[in-house]
Structure 1
Amino acid sequence: MKKITANFPMLLSLLLVALISCDEEARGPLVTDATIPGAVSEVSVQNLPGGAKISYKTPSDEDVLYVEAIYERNGEPVSTRSSVFKDFVTIEGLDITDPVQVSLITVDRSENKSTPISVTINPEKSPLKKVFESLELVEDFGGPRLKYNNEDDIKIEFLLYTIENGERVYQQSAFIENGQNTFHIFRGFPPVMTKFGIEAVDRWDNSASLFEADVTPLEEVILDRLAMNGEVLSGDEETAFGWTLGNLFNGTAGGAGFHTNQSNLGSVVFPYTEAYHMFSVDMGVTAKLSRFKFWPRQGDCCGTPFGHGDPRYFEIWGIDEIPADNGASLEGWTRLVENGEVIKPSGAPVGSNSAEDRALAASGLEFNFPIDAPPVRFIRFVVFENWSGTNFTHVMELEFYGQIEE
């Protein structure tokens, strides 16, 4: 029998030649012709804030691929494409209300372009200008509170400056993703009169500045956790696994925290009509609170953080003195956080945590209290639902900020 021996160096050389030949082949449309496609027709314009929606009828050419709109933004030519399966193109990011010329060009699969159709749009006041005109700067704990109205739901960056000797000095930025929030608090400033300035920038690099205001921030301190204790009220849940209320103030989010009994359904406490798990805290001092943080379980089991008994939907109540009913109802208490919700940055399913998810959990989940809320000493935490869809809870650590009243 004849022995066959493979010549591997030769095979390798042939393979390399084949790969190089493939790379050198011309890349382009699978079908080519020189026929210019028809232009769009029946064009109509709906002017919008910062742009317009241009509707049209596409030509009947079978190989039409898309419609391209060409115009100028901030003196630079830009283009927007719309698939042939749509009958409109949207122009965005204009920060003027002057007329803007837009050229509509049909492009086919051979990259042939139609004769341009010119249309004039008249953008309405831009979303950026509307946001900027709504700005207010008022006092808050540790810095100015920026109020705004983002009715067009745009992404925007607010840059905070202090004005020193007539010059702006950059301090912080806030990135706004949507119009759901109506304010942002810049913190880290002493309680002295300061001239602040705000510049707003949208995602197209349009800029509006400078909104200025003199603001005296309210003093803010971190309340001493060593002065805090658990306070067991009527309707509060018993602890489980040796994870007691005292662990909420031991200065570490690792190890053991506070854990309620998973076997208990919870208690119905007015004004609620359903049973929830609750626990209470004596801060040791009466304080006008600005915000608080809590740390979820740090990933030692059960898909945490953002898993198992970590609170997801909750409310916070406060009062200066425990009433005679020992908390059997919440009548006389102030709701400090209403319909609180923990937002997981990645939005990934329970048990799957991104680096950003883990970093947020490690730094603590922060929630603001209303600035007009009265001073309180006792806090009640009401858990509606945890990340596993039930209402038992575990919390590793608590931290409160504000002004001490006594």
Structure 2
Amino acid sequence: MHSNHIFRQPLPLLVVAVCMLFACSKVVDYREPVSNDFTKPGVISNIKVTNFNGGAYITYNLPQSANILYVKADYLIDTKTGKKRQTKSSYYSDTITVEGFAEKSEYEVSLRTVSRSNVESDAVTVKVFPDTPVYRVVSKTIRMQPDFGGVNVQTSNVNKKPVGAILLYKPAGADKYSIYEQKFSDFAFNSFSSRGFDTLPKNFAVYITDQWGNNSDTLFQTIKPLFEEQLSKSKFFENLLPSDGKIGFGWVLSNLWNGRTDGSGWHTVQQNMPMPISCTFGLGVSAKLSRFKLDGRAGYEFAHGNPKVFSIWGSDKAAPADAVLPLSAEEGAQLGDWVNMGNYVWPGPPSGALASAPTATDRDVFKRGMEFNFPFTAPRVRFLRLSVSESWSGATFAHAMEITLFGNTK
């Protein structure tokens, strides 16, 4: 949304300022041609086409003229809807990219050179035959499966091009589906979960879209969400191991689940300690975990010892042995009795500000804590280790105020 701001200044001063700025000379009209040569430019030649998924590269030779400004391509990207696109390429380049085609099919592209006087050449028509568009390739990989309190959606994107997975939901008694969640990514593998549902069967659907508005066929599926509950913190207990970070300042590990985000939490000594810094505790039950919420230390938003890069390790052993955790490991990695349950990065200030200068809104977002998902493939566990690889200050200590866990203990 744009705002109209009215600038008021005494007229004589405004006139003086304008004259000084332009030296009281004729103001250039930028709508005038940048050249007085209105000769129709020549056409491109020696055209070659290289097709790719959903598009093509077209290379060519420009006509011998210093008056060429750019080459433009006009083409139809969807024969069913009649949707068209136009792309341009500077005279500095010998290649133009045409993309956004809806199908693997033959398309005609009209190419023209345009002079600095905005005079167009005659059209040269070439045919391109793009391979299967990325959104259609990705749509063939859609997988929906039950997740805790909802549905998990997975897609593969070997081309690593931006696409969106659109999740639809039709409530009981409704006539049609509506958009429930949208996830856009260029990752090779994308997985997300939508929650907030009871365990009764639900009607979901997913389709893939791209940046040009092409949509795949829709996959429909009835999903019965898995049961999820918050784990009882009354059952948690300290289980510090020799390789865990030494706690300082009179704080204790059990503060991490005392239900408070003020006062004291978990805080290691501020000494030159090797990273990562970890702590270990028991859940009191064996649980298949779905997600967790971590609360950082207020007053030090995006700073000090608050975790920035961290991992969660778990074990379902009755008495897991100690293991020195690595600074980083792949999700699912095994280390003695422990398995990597997930690797996480606390997002930076949502305003885009530097971590050293967050806005008031950024600080408020931080104070609400951050929720993270466990991978659906993570095993059941009885014990957890919070392992901090990097704090926001980069110092060799860490602190956090509260952790809340969700999953299924049955």
* Same fold flag (TM > 0.5): yes
Structure 1 partner of 2:219: 211
* 1:38/1:335 CA distance change after superposition, 3 Å: same
Residue 54 of structure 1 and its aligned partner are, at CA, apart by 1.0
Residue 195 of structure 1 and its aligned partner are, at CA, apart by 2.8
What's the TM-score, normalizing by structure 1? 0.83
In structure 2, distance between residues paired with 1:292 and 1:397: 10
* 1:66/1:285 CA distance change after superposition, 3 Å: same
Which shifted more, 80-89 or 23-32? 23-32
Residue type at the aligned position of 1:287: A
Which shifted more, 368-377 or 82-91? 368-377
Are residues 1:79 and 2:86 paired?
yes
Structure 2 partner of 1:4: none
In structure 2, distance between residues paired with 1:283 and 1:363: 24
Are residues 1:119 and 2:126 paired?
yes
Structure 2 partner of 1:3: none
Residue type at the aligned position of 1:92: E
Q: What is the alpha-carbon root mean square deviation over aligned residues? A: 3.2
Residue type at the aligned position of 1:121: V
* 1:218/1:83 CA distance change after superposition, 3 Å: same
Asked if the contact 1:97–1:124 (Cα under 8 Å) also holds between the matched residues in 2, the reply is yes
Which shifted more, 191-200 or 366-375? 366-375
Structure 1 partner of 2:49: 45
Asked if the contact 1:318–1:333 (Cα under 8 Å) also holds between the matched residues in 2, the reply is yes
Residue type at the aligned position of 2:86: S
In structure 2, distance between residues paired with 1:212 and 1:197: 4
Residue 162 of structure 1 and its aligned partner are, at CA, apart by 2.8
The CA deviation string for residues 64-94 of structure 1, in whole angstroms up to 9 with x for no partner, is 2211111123313321111222211111211
Asked if the contact 1:198–1:211 (Cα under 8 Å) also holds between the matched residues in 2, the reply is yes
Structure 2 partner of 1:98: 105
In structure 2, distance between residues paired with 1:286 and 1:129: 41
Residue 191 of structure 1 and its aligned partner are, at CA, apart by 1.3
Structure 1 partner of 2:407: 402
Structure 1 partner of 2:59: 55
In structure 1, distance between residues paired with 2:95 and 2:88: 10
Asked if the contact 1:67–1:107 (Cα under 8 Å) also holds between the matched residues in 2, the reply is yes
Which shifted more, 40-49 or 169-178? 169-178
* 1:114/1:258 CA distance change after superposition, 3 Å: same
Residue 289 of structure 1 and its aligned partner are, at CA, apart by 0.8
Are residues 1:221 and 2:229 paired?
yes
Residue type at the aligned position of 1:239: I
Structure 2 partner of 1:138: 145
Q: Note the residue ranges of structure 2 that are not aligned, 5 or more in a row.
A: 1-8, 326-334
The CA deviation string for residues 199-228 of structure 1, in whole angstroms up to 9 with x for no partner, is 322221112232012221111112233443
Match of 2:268 among 236, 260, 270: 260
Structure 2 partner of 1:318: 314
Structure 2 partner of 1:5: none
Are residues 1:278 and 2:278 paired?
yes
In structure 2, distance between residues paired with 1:384 and 1:10: 62
What's the TM-score, normalizing by structure 2? 0.82
Residue 207 of structure 1 aligns to a residue whose secondary structure is coil
Structure 2 partner of 1:150: 157
Matches within 5 A, 1:143-222: 143-152=150-159, 153-162=161-170, 164=172, 167-170=175-178, 172-222=180-230
In structure 2, distance between residues paired with 1:356 and 1:23: 48
Residue type at the aligned position of 1:51: G
Asked if the contact 1:174–1:184 (Cα under 8 Å) also holds between the matched residues in 2, the reply is no
Match of 1:66 among 64, 70, 76: 70
* 1:322/1:80 CA distance change after superposition, 3 Å: same
* 1:234/1:17 CA distance change after superposition, 3 Å: closer
Asked if the contact 2:243–2:322 (Cα under 8 Å) also holds between the matched residues in 1, the reply is no
In structure 2, distance between residues paired with 1:16 and 1:349: 37
The CA deviation string for residues 74-131 of structure 1, in whole angstroms up to 9 with x for no partner, is 3133211112222111112111223211111112222122222111111211111111
Residue 209 of structure 1 aligns to a residue whose secondary structure is coil
Residue 11 of structure 1 and its aligned partner are, at CA, apart by 3.8
- State, as a whole percentage, how many aligned pairs show the same letter: 33
Residue 57 of structure 2 aligns to a residue whose secondary structure is strand
Asked if the contact 1:163–1:197 (Cα under 8 Å) also holds between the matched residues in 2, the reply is no
Q: How many residues align?
A: 385
Residue type at the aligned position of 2:311: E
Asked if the contact 1:157–1:202 (Cα under 8 Å) also holds between the matched residues in 2, the reply is no
Asked if the contact 2:321–2:337 (Cα under 8 Å) also holds between the matched residues in 1, the reply is no
Structure 1 partner of 2:96: 89
In structure 1, distance between residues paired with 2:324 and 2:139: 47
